[in-house]
Structure 1
Amino acid sequence: MCAHVLVAEDDEKQAELVRRYLRREGHTVTVVHDGRAAIEEARRRAPDLLVLDIQMPRVDGLDVARVLRAESDLPILMLTARSTEDDLLLGLDLGADDYMTKPYSPRELMARIRTLLRRSSVRTPTPDPVLRVGGLTVDPARHEVTVDGRPADCTPGEFHILAALAALPGRVLSRAQLLDSVHGFDRYITTRTVDVHIMNLRKKIEPDPRRPRYLVTVFGVGYKLADGGHDGP
């Protein structure tokens, strides 16, 4: 699958390494070295995927993700030298589809890029039906979520997980099954990503995220979507 990949990385040697690997796989590559240029280039050329370093001059990667996610569903793979859980949560909450910590293996990076490109290339030939569970509504065609008529702004990863659960209300889905709905099966992505998305979704759709009524944990198995009529763990 040949694609146009935008690489936003202020380290010129690192950017050149990524560019070489991407070109070996047949991709067209554009490289920029600061956040403002990344925003401008993404708007101008509409790439198929953005490889985004967090620590960049002018505008940092987190702000780049925030701006671009508000405008499109462009797949974003974040790169960072930071490795704390808070950084992971923030990156995913802003709409990153995947997250890698430096130093990383270029081969693993290419594998993750292939996974994101495969997922973003899937197109549904007919609109999916609107999914309703209790007061929760998930509209796949419009990529919209409402709770009791109130809109909930979800990232692409969060939306895919919620839609997968809403399509099978009351049924328990494992983390691996939910991960597949987001990334497609890939051994490089961990099930921890699902837990992060669930935690962020609870903040957006639950009256009390500490006592979820919709996104219920089934310990040792996974998660299910309830109708909101009772408290869950």
Structure 2
Amino acid sequence: MTKPLVTILDDEPEIRHMLADALQEAGFRTASFARATEFEASLKSTSPDVCLVDLGLPDKDGLALVHRLALESGASIIIISGRAQVQDRVTGLELGADDYIIKPFDPAEVVARVRARLRSGKTGTKSANRARFEGWTALFDSYVLVDSEGFETPFSHAEGEVLRLFLDSPKRLISRAQMQETLGGTAGESFDRAMDVRISRLRTKLREDPKNPRLIKTIYGAGYIFLGDVIWD
């Protein structure tokens, strides 16, 4: 069985080496990059399972790169940054990152977070990658929603995790605590805000009425319920 591949994008060689050593010792394959252009070129021939991305890159805006990865890649994205402000964390999660680690950090914490992201990608009770519901088809291997006329709308890895959680448990209340436990991340304002943003984006892509959504219902003070009938195949 092929070991999961973790890419490390950070312009500080000490951090790249420290993370690579810790991850390889934990059983992962790694590939390290100092510049975003080198990292992006590698994506043409490799498909990482997890991307560790520093925001302070010398050649490109880190947040813009995170957003592009979230839209175009199936990898989990963990930001590693010295920016400790709550707004920076919220912005990173809103743009599609799955987790946010603040420098300085313990390499063991990063290894644990990587393992958590890989586990969360396998939490769905269904092994299938296609689900049909209310005129829509969700393709989790290519990260697109297809409507009844064949029009495709892409969704990010982070949005896909939330959608799969709903589709795995239709017509059941899913609390914030359940979402945090299943999807990983640290409970608190930034996690709640990230979930709100992802659910809002899913509603938009499913062409829901924001004032009266038909499929993803908010149960105030309790959580969410997905009301559609779901067929996995």
Category of TM-score, reference length = shorter chain: 0.7 to 0.9
| Residue identity in the other structure for 1:95 | G
Match of 1:80 in 2: 81
Match of 1:33 in 2: 34
CA distance in 1, matches of 2:101, 2:177: 19
- What pairs with 1:40-119 in structure 2 (closer than 5 Å)? 40-119=41-120
- What pairs with 1:132-147 in structure 2 (closer than 5 Å)? 132-133=133-134, 137-140=137-140, 143-146=143-146
Match of 1:189 in 2: 186
Name the SS for the 1:43 alignment partner: coil
CA contact (8 A) 1:54 1:78 kept: yes
CA distance in 1, matches of 2:124, 2:225: 26
CA contact (8 A) 2:9 2:35 kept: yes
**Deviation digits for residues 70-109 of structure 1 (CA, Å, limit 9, x no counterpart):** 4430222111233445534443344322222333332221
CA contact (8 A) 1:6 1:42 kept: no
Deviation at 1:207, TM superposition (A): 4.4
* Runs of 5+ unmatched residues, structure 2: 229-233
CA distance in 2, matches of 1:168, 1:121: 15
The verdict on how the C-alpha distance between 1:13 and 1:139 changes in structure 2, with shifts beyond 3 A counting, is closer
Query: Scaled by the length of structure 2, what TM-score is found?
Result: 0.75
Name the SS for the 2:186 alignment partner: coil
Match of 2:21 in 1: 20
The verdict on how the C-alpha distance between 1:143 and 1:68 changes in structure 2, with shifts beyond 3 A counting, is closer
Greater relative contact order (CA < 8 Å, ≥ 6 in sequence): 2
CA distance in 1, matches of 2:123, 2:222: 28
RMSD of aligned Cα (Å): 3.3
The verdict on how the C-alpha distance between 1:56 and 1:202 changes in structure 2, with shifts beyond 3 A counting, is same
User: What is the percent sequence identity of the aligned residues?
Assistant: 27
Match of 2:179 in 1: 178
Match of 1:230 in 2: none
The verdict on how the C-alpha distance between 1:119 and 1:146 changes in structure 2, with shifts beyond 3 A counting, is same
CA distance in 2, matches of 1:196, 1:120: 19
Name the SS for the 1:197 alignment partner: helix
The verdict on how the C-alpha distance between 1:60 and 1:151 changes in structure 2, with shifts beyond 3 A counting, is same
| Residue identity in the other structure for 1:189 | T
